[in-house]
């Protein structure tokens, strides 16, 4: 008899608890496993850097282009472009990359921060860059003590953003020697690349992909834009030609005979970087479903994610310009997504804000 009363007492207590949670606090209790849920961002007011009650984060107003609506050439100038590039790059040493040991440490959240700091500190210029970013307004709030050690700076930045910063440092020093772009245009492209790299790092961490490969693909996805000035522009080209506003990628093809995607793919190939990065750089603006599906599975996967990350950076980042390329439906299908909304989480946008601030501090 006492056991029946005890059971009844517990049952009533559980019912009252759920009743209180539902109606007294306004929280709906769900039995869905939290392991299989991703929090879709609907309230952005608590994002870092935003005051309570401000308007929620929303996509920027930009011009949207559907690249599949346009006809594209078969890039007959590829052989000539590759020859010019090889002749130009033969005197340019390949960029430094993150050493295998350092990449191993950055890929392990339990690794020794002191060992990472010791390796990074071997380069005085890199050390100064890391401390500069760590002491910027976003990462070091007003009144906080100045950060004077690489060890503390790494803890503040986190491994993912340190990796992005390292890639930015290594590749930028090489690219600045190779391009004749105006400094302002160079920085605009570069800062957008940092945002894309950060988004890809977040996606790779969440899905347990190779974070090093994905962040590198993000940094390099627009690398072809730095080399376009090497090639003669068509005398017949005019941005005012045609009855409609053309997407920038189409304007590149008309002006040079090819776009920055083909050119970037050739640069990555010349530098002998992994084929997955070559595919990501060459196909992150897919215009042909058959051409996209012909890629090897891993190359196709990273190219699809870079396509989506670039799309999100143009919509939510600071440095994407005034346009965005629509993501073809078959890219979403390949990734198992219906739309990008499921990826737009509080964590992703918070990470993008950090990346934008990092880019601004450079």
Q: How far is CA 320 from CA 3, 107, 247, 268, 280, in A?
A: 67, 28, 14, 22, 18
Looking at residue 7, what is its pLDDT? Answer: 55
pLDDT, tens only, 309-328? 999 999 999 898 889 999 99
pLDDT, tens only, 18-63? 444 433 333 333 323 323 323 333 333 333 333 333 334 677 888 9
pLDDT, tens only, 251-291? 998 888 888 998 899 889 888 889 999 999 999 999 989 88
Judge whether 286 and 292 are in contact, CB under 8 Å: yes
113-122, 238-247, 327-336, range with the lowest pLDDT: 238-247
Averaged pLDDT of the chain: 79
Looking at residue 33, what is its pLDDT? Answer: 31
Map the chain to HEC letters.
Answer: CHHHHHHHHHHHHHHHHHHHHHHHCCCCCCCCCHHHCCCECCCCCCCCCCCCCCCCCCCCCCEEECHHHCCCCCCCCHHHHHHHHHHHHCCCCCCCCCCHHHHHHHCCCCCCHHHHHHHHCCCHHHHHHHHHHHCCCCCCCCCCCCCCCHHHHHHHHCHHHHHHHHHHHHHHHHHHHHCCCCHHHHHHHHHHHHHHHHHHHHHHHHHCCCHHHHHHHHHHCCCHHHHHHHCCCCCCCCCCCCCCCCCHHHHHHHHHCCCHHHHHHHHHHHCCCCHHHHHHHHCCCCCCHHHHHCCCHHHHHHHHHHHHHHHHHHHHCCCCCCEEECCCHHHHHHHCCCCHHHHCEHHHHHHHHHHHHHHHHC
Judge whether 187 and 200 are in contact, CB under 8 Å: no
Judge whether 154 and 113 are in contact, CB under 8 Å: yes
What whole-number distance in Å separates Cα of residue 244 and Cα of residue 70? 12
Residue 220 clears pLDDT 90, i.e. is over it: yes
Which structure tokens are listed for 20?
């209180």
Looking at residue 107, what is its pLDDT? Answer: 86
Looking at residue 242, what is its pLDDT? Answer: 52
C-beta neighbour count of 75 within 10 angstroms: 15
What whole-number distance in Å separates Cα of residue 185 and Cα of residue 30? 49
Q: 63-95+185-241+257-361 adopts what CATH topology? A: Hypothetical protein af1432 (1.10.3210)
pLDDT, tens only, 277-286? 999 999 999 9
Please give the average per-residue pLDDT across 295-299, as a whole number.
Answer: 94
Residue of 37 and 120 predicted with greater confidence: 120
127-131, 132-136, 176-180, range with the lowest pLDDT: 176-180
What whole-number distance in Å separates Cα of residue 139 and Cα of residue 360? 11
């Amino acid at each position: 008899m006492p056991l029946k009363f005890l059971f009844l007492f517990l049952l009533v207590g559980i019912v009252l608890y759920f009743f209180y949670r539902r109606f007294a606090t306004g929280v709906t209790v769900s039995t869905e496993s939290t392991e299989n849920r991703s929090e879709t961002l609907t309230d952005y007011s608590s994002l870092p850097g935003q005051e309570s009650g401000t308007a929620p984060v929303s996509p920027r107003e930009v011009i949207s282009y559907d690249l599949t609506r346009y006809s594209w050439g078969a890039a007959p100038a590829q052989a000539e472009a590759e020859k010019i590039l090889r002749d130009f790059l033969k005197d340019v040493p390949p960029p430094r990359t993150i050493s295998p040991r350092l990449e191993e440490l950055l890929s392990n959240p339990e690794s020794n921060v002191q060992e990472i700091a010791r390796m990074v500190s071997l380069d005085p210029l890199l050390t100064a860059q890391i401390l500069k970013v760590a002491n910027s307004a976003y990462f070091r709030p007003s009144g906080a003590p100045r950060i004077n050690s690489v060890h503390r700076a790494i803890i503040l930045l986190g491994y993912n953003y340190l990796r992005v910063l390292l890639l930015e440092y290594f590749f930028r020093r090489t690219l600045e020697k190779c391009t004749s772009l105006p400094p302002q245009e160079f920085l605009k492209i570069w800062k957008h690349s940092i945002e894309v790299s950060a988004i890809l790092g977040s996606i790779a961490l969440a899905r347990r992909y190779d974070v090093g490969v994905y962040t590198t693909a993000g940094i390099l996805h627009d690398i072809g834009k730095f080399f376009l000035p090497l090639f003669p522009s068509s005398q017949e080209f005019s941005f005012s030609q045609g009855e409609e506003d053309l997407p920038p990628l189409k304007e590149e093809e008309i002006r040079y005979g090819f776009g920055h995607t083909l050119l970037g793919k050739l640069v990555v190939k010349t530098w002998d970087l992994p084929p997955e990065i070559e595919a990501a750089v060459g196909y992150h603006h897919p215009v042909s479903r058959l051409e996209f599906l012909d890629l090897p599975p891993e190359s196709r996967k990273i190219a699809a994610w870079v396509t989506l990350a670039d799309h999100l950076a143009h919509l939510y980042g600071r440095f994407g310009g005034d346009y965005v390329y629509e993501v073809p439906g078959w890219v979403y299908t390949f990734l198992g997504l219906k739309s990008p909304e499921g990826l737009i989480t509080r964590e992703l946008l918070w990470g993008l804000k950090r990346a934008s601030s990092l880019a601004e501090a450079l």
